[in-house]
Structure 1
């Protein structure tokens, strides 16, 4: 498969992610378990966005010096478009995360820890999915049509059932854990398991973290094909995906308090998925320019946010 990712670029990306995660963990531990304020969430969101943009700028600079400005400009725009798409679709994850926290009674002071560990698991699982997807697309071009049709179908389903809530009691992972693990009914701070009378029990925090990671991967089944419509380069797909996911914890606390204000966002996301699906279906007839794709995605998301404010939800 063709990729711009040299061993040096992969190493630089990996080191940057590791350092960012270490800093995040250190700050999280120093702050202790606490309820995240809107201001704190906004500052962290800005920090993660700036980190992603700095990485994109560094990637553009390196490519400009080694392969020329044309590929550098195209790759930087692909990264930005992929990042924006993933960031927008991640908002849908947040609504489900809210349901999980509500269903399992996770207090505000414990949500940070749960999100942090859940996101780490999601990054690993997403990386596996991305490399499998890249290998399949490189070998079987027709899979792009399957991805495109799937995204259009998903977009239509989001319009038909915009407020469809997850049925956690029917969740296969939850049912498996209940059938095979000893689950305690009480939280023990941020501990994932405790030992009682020589027997290990898994806490509700463990259950929540597993559900967060798997739920994110389920949503990635939509978002990863969407980014492959923008670029088939696994380096650009993975880096834009990871940087978007890294900021998911801060984005959660930023958006959680405003979920009801943007009740029409699902329609914007449905439009994004449908547009990208059509883009994949016509890829052999017309390759939609990256700049145009970015503009349409931004317009669809922006329009849904503005419409939510102009037409408030009627209870």
Structure 2
């Protein structure tokens, strides 16, 4: 796929403009976000993402358009799990409602930066070493198995190694100080709980990037499409958080669905590597994987809602790659949530 400098500049410029808009709305004007506002912004960001895909398909061809929509769907589904952990972090540290937008915006910006780094590294590795398809595939299959095994667990945010390190090294207050990251107590500087929350968000973003980038490379090897799918999937998370905050705990089969999606993409990557070695090894077409992913997510959502209707006490969990029982006492919380 040939992407001109102008196309890259236009896409990056659009992403930065939308990030600036999100920053202005979320961080510079702290306020409670109601259902109507969250719905309007969610529809706007999804509309922008769909419009971009339509334009891409019309200009570059619908093979690439299909790859974009498949990548977007994968990243959007993984970002919902990311949101789940954000909710747990907000609840664990009792982040005041007026500061939640600032935390979310920071998390989204940091997630995008980390994904750009991983995209560039992943693209370079795949270009140099074809066996990286095999390694990425095995990583995703392993992640899928672990996520399914520990689908009923939640991350222990306060036991996160970075969070514990901050509390051990830096003096930390217990009170939020009007959204400040650093405050003074008796003339001495100390970090606020908001600083600790941002550390927790940052470490979570890093760990999710380790899963999401190999996953999207499983549906397309075009760096431009990988970047666009990630960027547009992340941009609407702030609004989506407030829209589905009360619904996330009802998606009781979310971790199971994501495990199946990751396993599918892992197998697709392994078969793709096998096809580079031997033409007789079949590949999974992108259109097929897009359809299967859509079905998995739809069934996961419907089954979750039916489960909660039958059992109102059922609650969803973010899932974990490393179960609590598998973690040494000094490493608890250090793995991906």
Q: TM-score of the superposition, structure 1-length normalised?
A: 0.90
CA contact (8 A) 1:122 1:214 kept: no
Aligned residue among 24, 27, 36 for 2:25: 27
Matches within 5 A, 1:120-269: 120-196=109-185, 199-269=188-258
Matches within 5 A, 1:51-90: 51-63=48-60, 72-90=61-79
Q: Tell me the CA shift for residue 87 of structure 1.
A: 0.4
Matches within 5 A, 1:31-50: 32-50=29-47
CA contact (8 A) 2:26 2:105 kept: no
Q: Tell me the CA shift for residue 199 of structure 1.
A: 4.0
Structure 1 residues 29 and 204 mapped into 2: Cα distance closer, same or farther (>3 Å)? closer
CA contact (8 A) 1:151 1:277 kept: yes
Q: Tell me the CA shift for residue 6 of structure 1.
A: 2.5
Q: Tell me the CA shift for residue 139 of structure 1.
A: 0.9
Q: Tell me the CA shift for residue 196 of structure 1.
A: 4.8
Gaps of 5+ in 2: 276-280, 314-337
SS of the aligned residue for 2:83 comes to: helix
SS of the aligned residue for 1:311 comes to: helix
Structure 1 residues 281 and 15 mapped into 2: Cα distance closer, same or farther (>3 Å)? same
Partner of 2:83: 94
Partner of 1:67: none
Give the 4+ runs in structure 1 shifted more than 3 A. 195-200
2: distance between equivalents of 1:29 and 1:308? 33
Q: Tell me the CA shift for residue 96 of structure 1.
A: 1.1
Q: Tell me the CA shift for residue 268 of structure 1.
A: 1.2
Q: Tell me the CA shift for residue 123 of structure 1.
A: 1.0
Aligned residue among 288, 292, 301 for 2:284: 288
Taking only aligned residues, the RMSD between alpha carbons, in angstroms, comes to 1.8
2: distance between equivalents of 1:128 and 1:314? 42
CA contact (8 A) 1:85 1:297 kept: yes
SS of the aligned residue for 2:3 comes to: coil
Q: How far does the alpha carbon of each residue in 1:183-205 deviate from its partner, in whole angstroms, 9 at most, with x for none?
A: 22211122222345654322211
Q: Tell me the CA shift for residue 140 of structure 1.
A: 1.1
Q: Tell me the CA shift for residue 122 of structure 1.
A: 1.4
CA contact (8 A) 1:4 1:233 kept: no
Aligned residues: 304
CA contact (8 A) 2:27 2:102 kept: no
Q: Tell me the CA shift for residue 33 of structure 1.
A: 2.5
Q: Tell me the CA shift for residue 289 of structure 1.
A: 1.4
Q: How far does the alpha carbon of each residue in 1:237-279 deviate from its partner, in whole angstroms, 9 at most, with x for none?
A: 1111011111111121122101222211221111111111111
Q: Tell me the CA shift for residue 54 of structure 1.
A: 1.9
CA contact (8 A) 2:114 2:209 kept: no
Gaps of 5+ in 1: 64-71
Aligned residue among 302, 309, 312 for 1:306: 302
Partner of 2:333: none
2: distance between equivalents of 1:244 and 1:304? 19
CA contact (8 A) 1:118 1:210 kept: no
